[in-house]
Structures are given as C-alpha cells and as structure tokens.
Chains A and B, each alone.
Chain A
Amino acid sequence: MIATSGLIASVVTRRGDIDIDVSLAVAPGEVLAVLGTNGSGKTGLILALAGLVPIESGQISYDDRVLDDVAQGIHVTSADRNVGYLPQHAMLFPHLSVLENVAFGPRSRGVSALDARRDATSMLSAAGLTALIDRPAATLSGGEAQRIALLRALAFTPDLLLLDEPTSALDVAARTSVRADLVHRINDFSGATVLVTHDAVEALTLASRVLILDGGKVVQEGDVAEVVRRPRTAFVARLAGLTVLSGTAREHRVDLDAGGALIVGESSHGRVLVTVSPRGVTLHRLRPEGSARNVWPVRVSSIEAVGDLLRVSLDGEPSVAADVTMSAVAELGARPGVELWASIKATELDVYPA
C-alpha cells in the first residue's frame, strides 16, 4: 500500500446486499485487476471510483487531487474527475455515429466540435478503424462496439482508466481481438488502470497485480501470476479454475485434511496447500495401469462447459475437477452418478506452505 502517486482509494460503500470495504493503490502505468464473482462488490467499487455512486466513508485521490473525502465533505463529480470508463456492454450512444461517440468526451470538455472530430478521426484511423467512422453506433458488432468504447474512454487522455468486465459479454472470436486491443492500448496508457473481472484469464493477460474480492472484502492480493497459480482459499482457486486442497506433508506424501493422500513432486514437511489443475486430471473407465502416481476412484457429480472443454466435477478422496473433451466424456459414458477412476501425475501438482 505504498504509493505516492497514482490512484489511492479506501472505499466503503454499499451496493445491493453487499457491504464493500476495499483499500487499494495503483501507480501510474500499472494495471490492477480486481477479480471476483458476481456479488463480490467489484461493480460497486468501480462505480465508486468513477464517481457515479457516492461512498459512505473513506477517500479517493489521484496524485495530489482529492476526488472523494467523506470526512471533509468532498465529492468530485464524474464529469470533473478525468476518468476513462469502459462499461461491460460498451454503452455507445446509439443515436450518434462512431466518430461522434469518440469525439463526445473532448466536446463535453470544451474542445470545439471541429477539433474534436479531427482528433477522433485521426485516433480511429490510427487504430485501423477508419471504415467504421460514419457508421451509426447502433449497427456495430459487440467486438467493434467495445473497441470504439475503449477509444471513446481514452480520447480525452484520462488520469485513470476503469475497465468493467471489458470482454465478458463478447463471443470467443471478438474476445480475442478486443483483448489484444486492450493490451496494446493499456501499454500506451500512462495513467493507472483498474480492471474489474470474474475471468482469471483476463486478469492474467491484462494485469500485473491482482486483488481478490469476496463479499466486498479483499481476500488475497499480489502478483497476478502468483495469486492465480497459488491460491490461498478455495474461492480464489475456483476463480482461477483450480482445486486447492489443504493437508500435511511428509516428504513427497501429502495427507489431505478432507481425506485421501497425494504423492507430489516436491518434497516438504508440515502444513501445505496443493493445487490441482483440472487439465492435469485424467479420467478412466477402469483402473489404469500407468506411470501416474496418484490413482483413485471417483464419482461424477456434475458436468459443465468451460470454453471448448467440459469440466467434470468429481466426488472422491480427494474431490477434484477434470477438464476433458466432449468425445472423451462420450467415450467414458460420464454423467452424474457414474463411477470412474481419476489419475494425476505427481509433477502436475503444485505444493506450497499453507
């Protein structure tokens, strides 16, 4: 929490049933991801940072400028905040052209219509979007709209960039192109960026540091690769798409608290956490003969789609999840209640002190 410039915020507010109480600091040029599920309070946090909802107590400042200070009765409105905000569903103004959308911010800030349009035109052509300039915003595809909305949010060179689930409403193809665009823009952006998302992949691709939000509170914080790879709670593990198991290690064997034991690649002693990636887990109809050190019987509890794979949740000792292809599920006859065998290599398991 040591930052002398950039965004410094301590936000206490309420949204729906969630009491939000979060402190964060983001340096200029840094990207902080706020990762949480629906109902974690991440939308409330971003609206408070944007100045769109008042905070109940706390402070928000950028560099030397106080944006919110409840104790002193300071609240700078969104219009005066110099914050670029990219909402989840683009929210382009449907009655305006792409050009007028991008020029909206500068025009609202007193730039003449002529200059604003000229700047927006060069911004759009620099982004390779010249073909869209005269299109009514209502006619754009989801991916196009999101890319234009990003340009619109950056057109007046804001201090702070707020991204609210920027790719979660898009289909897979559009998601890839918008994400590439985001990486590119954020690299060129000199201010602080806060990215709110429930998608661990999005956090990994765009952010350097992550803050995990659950029930309005921060439950874990740190380097994004570290947090996603070594979650401290089952909640974070689920966000990262991992299973985290606690247990006691004696050399290569970990006796798990919830029952069962795993052989791991790394030798250690004492209380540990073991993460299991669903991609490392293999399923078999019969007990496999092979090199895997960990083999145990499981029962399928549920199956859901994750990207182009199916995630099979398994009850057993331990209970884990396995990501397998559609055809593998068909071959195994996997459906809830079916008994199978799970296996995982010792080297696929990550062990770290609890």
Chain B
Amino acid sequence: MRRIPLVLLVPAMLALAFLALPVVALLSKVSLSELPERLRDPLVLDALRLSLVTSTISTVLCVLLGVPLAWVMARKDVPLRRLMRVLVVLPLVLPPVAGGLSLLLLFGPDGVGGRLLESLGLGLPATTAGVIVAQTFVALPFLVLATEGAIRSVDPRMEGVAATLGASQWQAFRRVTLPLAMPGVVAGVVLAWARALGEFGATVTFAGSVPGRTETLPLVLSRALKESTAAGVTVGVVLLVLSAGVLLLLRDRWWSLS
C-alpha cells in the first residue's frame, strides 16, 4: 500500500483523536466500585426503561411513516418535490429546542392539534406519548434520507420487470424494492434509534421533565450533572454503552459491507 500523504494523515489522525478522546475522558472517570450501586438507583433504572421504550416506539413510528415517504420521494414525480425535501431536512437543521417549541405550539393546550386531541380526551405535553412525538420528530429525517438513498440505488427497471410479471406497485415494493434497499433502511433505523435515544432539547421543551413519565436518560443526565459530575458520569456511561452496543450488535450483519 502506498503511504498516506502527511497533509492528509495529520488532519485525519487529529479528527480521530478528537472523536475518541472525549469518550476516553468519560470512561476514565468511571469508578468501578461505585458503578453497581449507582446503577441500582431507581431514578436511573426508570429513566433507562423509559428511554428504551420510547426510542424503540419512535423508531417503529419512523419506519411506518418514513419508509413510504422515502419511496414517494425516490420514485414518484410528485409536485412540490423540492418543498418535500426541505420539510424532511428541516428537523435535522432546526435546533431541537426550537423543534420542541414548534411541537408545543401545535399540540400544546393552545394549539390547533392540541385542542383536537383534547376533545378526544388526549393530551401530549407532560406525557410519555409526548416524548415519543418529540423523538419521532427529530429522528424521522435520518430514517427518510437513508431509505430514500437506498431506494434510489435500486434499478427502477427491476420494478418494471416485476410489473410485467404481474406484481402490483405494492407487491413490487414489498418483494423487490424494499429487500434490495434493506441495508440502507437498517442504517436509517440505527441512526434514527440513536437520535431518539439521545434526544434532549425537543423532549424537555415539549414533554417537560416528569420523572418516570417524560424524564428519559439524557434528561436525567442533565439533572444529575447539576448535583455532581460523578452522578452524571454514570448516566453518561449508560448512554454510551447502549449506543455503542447497538452499533456493535449490527456491525457483523450490516455494517461490515462498508
């Protein structure tokens, strides 16, 4: 192999160190003797359970809503396609707190959506459902963009052949397009789930911080840090282990092709 030019090697190594060192710093602060006890803290355990449940439900919602949207964007010559793309990317660039505020204005007690839900006896703010809505809002773009790219990379002539074989558009999508796009969809699922798990700004703004109901791990982390760094480290490590664990779990099956 030819040697990597220094002008590229040095920044590349710096970038790697920049990404790795904070993680090392976090891990170095873990006191192994205190960790088991801190992990048994019911506040942490409740938050962990809540985070796992909400981020998983959000990811499922992202798939159910996002995959069809990705297909429409990749395959159909619909009007306002550019606008669609802007709308999809918006939650990605919008500061999460502003996203949470927007959700609050729509679904809060004074919002159009909120009044509609209230008439049905439902309310989102300060509920676990609200957490899920906030997480879905910020995670959906990741799923849609990854899936759209994957669907675009499937040769549309494959769908044409499926059609001549008698497949409806839905059958062609389910039996040909989706399986061929699956690696991209899975990448989108992982990204969306990780984004939902780490969600803080939109959640705290829209759903508030109610222990056991809306206080997910990142919210507990923020509160714990106000008490002491040591308390925060525990929660931070739990989040780190969860995210890294999912990446490692999926690596052998889907990541390895890259």
Q: Which residues in A have some Cβ–Cβ distance to B below 8 Å?
A: 47, 50-52, 77-85, 87, 91, 93-95, 104-105, 108-109, 152-153, 156
Bound-complex Cα distance A77 to B161 (A): 12
Are the CB atoms of B158 and A91 closer together than 8 Å?
yes
Q: Which residue of B is nearest A52, CB measured?
A: B160
Q: How far is the CB of B154 from chain A (nearest CB, A)?
A: 10
Cα-based distance from A95 to B155 in the complex (angstroms): 13
Pick from B166, B168, B171, B176: contact of A93, CB below 8 A: B176
A62 to chain B, nearest CB (A): 14
Known contacts A91-B155, A95-B179, A108-B171; is-contact A79 B166 (Cβ 8 Å): yes
B164 within 8 A of A: yes
Minimum distance in angstroms from B231 CB to a CB of chain A: 49
CB distance from B253 to the nearest CB of A (A): 15
**How near does chain B come to A275, taking the closest CB pair, in angstroms?**
38
Q: Can you report 11 A-B residue pairs in the complex whose CB atoms are below 8 A from each other? A: A50-B160, A85-B160, A85-B161, A85-B164, A93-B176, A95-B179, A104-B162, A108-B162, A108-B167, A108-B171, A153-B165
Contact A50 B167 (CB under 8 A): no
Most buried by B among A91, A108, A152: A108
Extra contacts besides A79-B168, A91-B155, A91-B158 (9): CB < 8 Å: A50-B160, A51-B163, A79-B165, A81-B164, A91-B161, A104-B162, A104-B165, A108-B166, A156-B165
Q: How far is it, in angstroms, between the C-alpha of A82 and the C-alpha of B166 when the chains are bound?
A: 7
Shortest B32–chain A CB gap in Å is 46
Q: Which 5 A-B pairs have the closest CB atoms?
A: A78-B163, A108-B166, A105-B165, A85-B164, A108-B167
Kindly name the residue among B160, B161, B175 whose own CB sees the greatest number of chain A CB atoms within 10 A.
B161
B158-193 interface code vs A (CB 8 A; 1 in, 0 out): 101111111110010001100110000000000000
* Bound form: Cα–Cα A152–B164 in Å: 11
Task: Please give, as numbers and ranges, the residues of chain A lying within 8 Å of B164 by CB-CB distance.
Answer: 50-52, 78-79, 81, 83-85, 153
Give min CB distance, A188 to chain B, whole Å: 20
Please list the residues of chain B having a beta carbon within 8 angstroms of any beta carbon in chain A: 155, 157-158, 160-168, 171, 175-176, 179-180
Bound form: Cα–Cα A164–B162 in Å: 16
- Smallest beta-carbon distance A159→chain B, Å: 12
User: Nearest chain-B residue to A81 (Cβ)?
Assistant: B164
Q: A87-B157, A91-B155, A93-B158 are in contact. Are A77 and B163 (CB under 8 A)?
A: yes
Chain A residue nearest to B160 in the complex (CB) = A52
Contacts of A93 in B (CB 8 A): 158, 162, 175-176, 180
Residues in chain A near residue B158, CB distance under 8 A: 91, 93
Q: Which residue of B lies closest to A89 (CB)?
A: B157
CA–CA, A181 and B97, complex, Å? 66
CB distance from B110 to the nearest CB of A (A): 48
Contacts of B179 in A (CB 8 A): 95
Cβ-defined contact, A108 with B165, below 8 A: yes
Task: Tell me if B166 and A94 are in contact (CB < 8 A).
Answer: no
Interface centre among B157, B165, B179 (most CB of A within 10 A): B165
Q: Which residues of B contact A77 (CB under 8 A)?
A: 163
Residues of chain B lying within 8 A (CB to CB) of residue A79: 163-168
Give Cα A87 to B163, complex, Å.
13
Taking the nearest CB of chain A, how far is it from the CB of B168, in angstroms?
6
Name the CB-closest residue of A to B156.
Answer: A52
Task: Collect the chain B residues with CB atoms within 8 Å of residue A52's CB.
Answer: 160, 163-164
Interface centre among B162, B171, B179 (most CB of A within 10 A): B162
Report chain B residues within 8 Å CB of A153.
Answer: 164-165
Tell me the complex Cα distance, A108–B166, Å. 5
The CA-CA distance from A339 to B175 in the complex, in Å, is 62
**B163: A residues at CB distance < 8 A:** 51-52, 77-79
CB-CB nearest in chain B for A109: B166
Residue of A nearest to B158 (CB): A91
CA distance A267 to B179 in the complex (A): 67
A78–B160 CB distance below 8 A: yes
Known: A52-B160, A91-B155. A152 touches B165 (CB 8 A): yes
A112 CA to B166 CA in the complex, in Å? 14
- Tell me the bound Cα distance from A47 to B164 in angstroms: 10
Residues of A contacting B165 in the complex (Cβ-Cβ under 8 angstroms)? 79, 104-105, 108, 152-153, 156
> Counting chain B CB atoms within 10 Å of each CB, which of A47, A80, A95, A152 scores highest?
A95
With both beta carbons as reference points, the residue of chain B lying nearest to A93 in the complex is identified as B176
Shortest beta-carbon distance from A105 to chain B in Å: 4
**Hey, which chain A residues are within 8 Å of B162, CB to CB?**
93, 104, 108
Q: Which residue of B lies closest to A88 (CB)?
A: B157
- In the docked arrangement, what's the CA distance between A16 and B166, Å? 27
Task: Contact check, B180 vs A95: say whether CB atoms are below 8 A apart.
Answer: yes
Residues of A within 8 A of B155 (CB): 91
With A79-B167, A104-B167, A156-B166 known to touch, is A94 a contact of B161 (CB < 8 Å)? no
Most buried by A among B160, B171, B179: B160
CA distance A80 to B164 in the complex (A): 8
- In the complex, chain A residues whose CB is within 8 Å of the CB of B166: 79-80, 82, 105, 108-109, 156
CA distance A156 to B167 in the complex (A): 12
Rounded to whole Å, the gap between the CB of B176 and the closest CB of chain A is: 6
